[in-house]
Amino acid sequence: MATVLIVDDDAALREGLAETLSDLGHQAVEAPSGPVALDIVGRERIDAVLLDLRMPGMDGLEILQRLRADPAKAPPVAILTAYASAANTIEAMRLGAFDHLTKPIARADLDFLMSRMLRARAASGPTLATRSSLEDEDLVGSSDVMRAVQKTIGLVADSDATVLITGETGTGKELVARAIHRHGRRDSGPFVAVNCAAIPADLLESELFGHVRGAFTGALAERSGAFRDADRGTLFLDEVGDMDLTMQAKILRALQERYVTPVGGRPVRVDVRVLAATNRDLAAAVHDGKFREDLFYRLNVVPIHLAPLRERLSDIVALAEYFLHQATDPPKRLSTEATFCLSSHAWPGNVRELKNAIERVAILCRSDTIAASDFDFLSTAARAHGPAGAPEWADGDLASAVSRLEAFMITRALRAAGGNRTEAARRLGIHRQLLYAKVLKYAIDVDEPSADRTADVMKPDDARRPPPENTK
C-alpha cells in the first residue's frame, strides 16, 4: 500500500481523489495548500504526490520546485490541473514533474498513473534542475498529440541532446525548436536558424562553418558561419534532409567532435546545441542511400513528431481564435458555421495554411462575426458532405477520436448558446455538471453570457408554469 499526498485547495476534489485512491488500495493524505503539503512531506514518508496547479498563495509550480529540490529524496509528482497550457506543461515537466494531466481524471487513468509513479519511486531515477516559471504561451493546442509534444519539450529543454523534429510542411517545426531553446538553460544565448534547402550546396559549407578572407573567389571578408554564430546557444538546421551526402559527412564530424573548420581556415571549437527538422522520411532516405545512416542516428537522439492539423481536430478552432486575436483589434468572432467549416477542411498546408486563411478573412471581412461564406476560398471538397465527408474525425485510436468529437461539439454548442452553459448542456442532451467537467478537461474557453442572457434560459418546469396573475 502506497501513501499518496493530494494537494488541492478544492476540498470536494481532494475527497473524491482520496476515495478513489482508497478503492485502489492506497492510503491518501490531504493538504489544502502548499505550506501544509511541504510540512507533510518533511515529516512523513510520501510515495507519490498529486498536485493542483492553481492555488492561492503558493502555486503548484512553486510547490513542485520545492518538492524536487532534492531529487534523490523527492517523491514523484503528477500535476493535475483544469487549466493546462503549453507553457505550464513544458515548465512542469522541466521542473521534474512525473506527468501533467487535465482534470477530471478517470479511475482507470488514475490507477495507471499510480502504477507508473510507484515504479518510478522504486527506481529513484534522476530528475531535472529547477527554474522559475515561464508565463508565455508557446504552442497552441490541447489535443493529446500536442500535449505529448509539450511534455517532451519540457523534458529535453535543459539538456544538450540533439533533437530531430519531424512533420509535414507547415506543422510548426521551427516553433518547437524555438520553444526548446526558450525554455532551456541556453535561452540567454543566440538562436540561429538555417534553412538547408534554401542555400545552394556549394555555399552551404561557408554558411554553416564560415570562411577566411581569400579562401575562394569572392571571399572578400572573413565569415564566422552559423555554428560559431550560435556559440553557447542553439543552432536549428531546418530541412536537414535536403543536404547532399558530402555536406552530411561534414555535419556529422562537427556534431561528433564539436569542432568546425572554416573554408580555408583551421578547426575552431564550438559550444552549441543542435536541433534539426525535416519533412522527409529520413529512415526511408537511409534505406535508399540518400541520407547517411550514422548522421541519422546522431540527429535522432530525441525524436519529436508533429502530427498534421487534420489529426488534431480539437486544436483547429483554438488555433483559429488565437490567430484571429492576433490579427484583429478588437478581436472578431467566428460564427458556429465558420467553426464547422474550419474543422471540416483538410488543411494540407497545416497550421501555416490556417494562419494565412485567418489573416485573409480578418482583413477582408467587414463584420465583427466571421461567417462560413468568408472561407469560400478554401477547398470545398471536405466540407461539401458535412461530417460524413470528414474522415479525420475518426483518425487514431477510439479514445482520441471521441475526445476530438466531444471537444468540437461542446465548443459548437457553447457558441450557439452564446456561452450559456445551461443552454449548451440542454442542446447536447447532457447534465450541466458533466458539461462543466468536460469544458475543464478540454480547456475550452468560451465567454460567460451576460445576466440578461442567462435569464432567458428557463427550466423545463418553468416553461409549463402559467404566468403570475395581474394583481392590479
Q: Are residues 114 and 249 in the same domain?
A: no
Domain for residue 297, yes or no? yes
Q: Are residues 78 and 92 in the same domain?
A: yes
Alpha-carbon distances, residue 14 vs 9, 18, 106, 144 (angstroms): 8, 6, 14, 25
pLDDT of 249: 93
pLDDT of 398: 63
Identify any residues that bridge with 235 across adjacent strands, giving them in sequence order: 192, 274
Q: Are residues 166 and 106 in the same domain?
A: no
Alpha-carbon distances, residue 284 vs 163, 278, 293, 313 (angstroms): 19, 13, 10, 28
Q: Are residues 314 and 294 in the same domain?
A: no
Domain for residue 469, yes or no? no
pLDDT of 303: 96
- Dihedral angle, C-alpha 314, 316, 319, 324, nearest 10 °: -130
Q: Tell me: pLDDT of 433 over 50.
A: yes
- 326 pLDDT band (50/70/90 cuts)? confident
Average pLDDT over residues 418-441: 82
pLDDT of 292: 95
Maximum Cα–Cα distance across the chain:
103
- 439 pLDDT band (50/70/90 cuts)? confident
In tens, the pLDDT along 281-307 reads 999 999 999 999 999 999 999 999 999
Using a pLDDT cut of 70, give the percent of the chain over it: 85
Of 86-95, 258-267, 457-466, which range is least confident? Answer: 457-466
pLDDT of 82: 87
Of 122-126, 366-370, 425-429, which range is least confident? Answer: 122-126
Average pLDDT over residues 395-413: 74
pLDDT of 219: 67
pLDDT of 134: 35
In angstroms and rounded to an integer, the radius of gyration of the C-alpha atoms of the chain is 26
Residues 309 and 351: beta-carbon distance below 8 Å:
yes
Domain of 58 in residue numbering reads as: 3-138
Residues 225 and 206: beta-carbon distance below 8 Å:
yes
Q: Are residues 367 and 296 in the same domain?
A: no
Q: Are residues 290 and 319 in the same domain?
A: no
Domain for residue 460, yes or no? no
- Grid look-up 478540454 returns 442
Domain for residue 40, yes or no? yes
Residues 316 and 309: beta-carbon distance below 8 Å:
yes
Domain for residue 197, yes or no? yes
CATH number at residue 431: 1.10.8.60
Of 125-129, 141-145, 194-198, 414-418, which range is least confident? Answer: 125-129
Q: Which one of 306, 338, 366 terminates a domain? A: 306
- 70 pLDDT band (50/70/90 cuts)? confident
Residues 41 and 17: beta-carbon distance below 8 Å:
no
Domain for residue 464, yes or no? no
Q: Are residues 165 and 130 in the same domain?
A: no
Of 194-198, 285-289, 386-390, which range is least confident? Answer: 386-390
Q: Are residues 279 and 389 in the same domain?
A: no
Average pLDDT over residues 242-254: 92
In tens, the pLDDT along 78-111 reads 999 888 888 888 898 989 899 999 888 888 889 8
Average pLDDT over residues 56-63: 91
Residue 252 CA to chain centroid, in angstroms? 30
pLDDT of 224: 86
Q: Which one of 85, 109, 138 terminates a domain? A: 138
Nearest to 97 by CA among 20, 17, 160, 157: 157
Q: Average pLDDT, whole number, for the chain? A: 83
Residue 49 CA to chain centroid, in angstroms? 23
Q: Which one of 288, 306, 324 terminates a domain? A: 306
Mapping DSSP onto H, E and C, the string for the chain reads CCEEEEECCCHHHHHHHHHHHHHCCCEEEEECCHHHHHHHHHHCCCCEEEEECCCCCCCHHHHHHHHCCCCCCCCCEEEEECCCCHHHHHHHHHCCCCEEEECCCCHHHHHHHHHHHHHHHHHCCCCCCCCCCCCCCCCCCCCHHHHHHHHHHHHHCCCCCCEEEEECCCCCHHHHHHHHHHHCCCCCCCEEEEECCCCCHHHHHHHHHCECCCCCCCCCCCECCHHHHCCCCEEEEECHHHCCHHHHHHHHHHHHHCEECCECCCCEECCCEEEEEECCCHHHHHHCCCCCHHHHHHHCCEEEEECCHHHCHHHHHHHHHHHHHHHCCCCCEECHHHHHHHHHCCCCCHHHHHHHHHHHHHHHCCCCEECHHHHCCCCCCCCCCHHHHCHHHHCCCHHHHHHHHHHHHHHHHHHHCCCCHHHHHHHHCCCHHHHHHHHHHCCCCCCCCCHHHHHCCCCHHHHHCCCCCCCC
Average pLDDT over residues 264-287: 93
Q: Are residues 85 and 208 in the same domain?
A: no
Angle between helix axes 432-441 and 398-416 (nearest 10 degrees) is 110
Higher per-residue pLDDT: 240 or 139: 240
Domain for residue 470, yes or no? no
pLDDT of 107: 87
Residues 50 and 7: beta-carbon distance below 8 Å:
yes
Nine-digit cell at 310? 487534420
CATH number at residue 98: 3.40.50.2300
The highest-confidence range among 284-288, 336-340, 457-461, by mean pLDDT, is 284-288
- 425 pLDDT band (50/70/90 cuts)? confident
Nine-digit cell at 39? 510540512
Q: Are residues 119 and 178 in the same domain?
A: no
Q: Are residues 330 and 253 in the same domain?
A: no
Q: Tell me: pLDDT of 189 over 70.
A: yes
Q: Are residues 165 and 123 in the same domain?
A: no
Nine-digit cell at 468? 403570475
Average pLDDT over residues 228-236: 94
Average pLDDT over residues 243-260: 92
Nine-digit cell at 62? 512553486
Count: domains in the chain: 3
pLDDT of 436: 84
Domain for residue 443, yes or no? yes
